[in-house]
Amino acid sequence: MTIVIIGVAIIVIAVLVFIRNKPRNQGPIPKETVDQTVPDFPVGFGYKCMWFAVKTSDQQKIVTLFKIKNSSKCNWKVGIDKAYTGSVFITPTIDGWTLACGLGLSTGESKEGIDEVKQILRILSKEFGEAQFFCTQRVVEYHCWIRATTGQVTRVYSYLGEQGENIAIEGEPTEIEKQYRLVNTFSDEAKDEKYFGNKDLVTPDEEFIMKVAEHWSIDPTQLGNRKDLPLSLGLIGQR
């Protein structure tokens, strides 16, 4: 009995000592931080975003042409996270293409915006031979793809589903586009009130734009599934 009493006393004393010495007012435990300078494997992106695809491996030259400020080395995980919060991430080179993505880029959601994107593409394609632009926003169902080669814009397609009309269509459809009857609200056919009722008419969505991107250059949504790409670093900055 005496042994039991002594044992209980020891436990009580130990608990009191622990409570007395327990650190106080530490605040929340900080979340684990990710070192953006540690190379990692590609991370997929593309939905609810915009990006340029440029036929080059010269990341620094892209930074210069886009007038990116405060650029620094950055891995995929941090780069894509920041791209969706207003920064611009210049990816490592993939199959000869470098992508510049992020909500800090132009969207092209108006005629003036498309003109701005076209001017950027002229500069990029004159420097590197070919450059492309893609943007998709599912809330307003805005989808746009533009292509330029050697300083000339060769194709523009932009559709705003919220308003049920194209913003701009220029140039001849590319091979992938020719396989579908894409909405063209500038056409004579579109004057018919039954136009959108045609069963073979294709209204672009975010999956369609990824299909175009895949045929033109890179489908960014599939990057995380590729096993052939190495650990690497891109560049992050603001525009």
% of residues, the chain, pLDDT over 70: 86
User: Does residue 160 surpass a pLDDT of 80?
Assistant: yes
pLDDT band at 19 (very low <50, low <70, confident <90, very high): very low
- pLDDT value of residue 15: 42
Amino acid at 5: I
Span 21-43, pLDDT tens digits: 444 443 443 445 679 999 999 99
Cα–Cα dist 123/149, whole Å? 10
Q: Spell 103-116 as b/e; 16+ CB within 10 A means b.
A: ebbbbbbeeebbee
Can you give the pLDDT at residue 34? 77
Cβ 121 vs Cβ 146: under 8 Å: yes
| In the chain, domain spans | 49-185+196-238
User: Tens of pLDDT along 210-239?
Assistant: 999 999 999 999 999 999 999 999 999 999
Statement: residue 6 has pLDDT above 80: no
Tokens 């590197």: give the residue.
128
Cβ–Cβ < 8 Å for 101, 49? yes
Q: What is the DSSP letter of 152?
A: E
Q: What is d(CA 135, CA 238) in angstroms, rounded to the nearest whole number? A: 18
List pLDDT tens digits, range 46-59: 999 999 999 999 99
In tens, the pLDDT along 163-214 reads: 999 999 999 999 999 999 999 999 999 999 999 999 999 999 999 999 999 9
In this predicted structure, what is the pLDDT of residue 13? 47
The model's pTM is 0.86
Bridge partners of residue 101, in order along the sequence? 51, 89
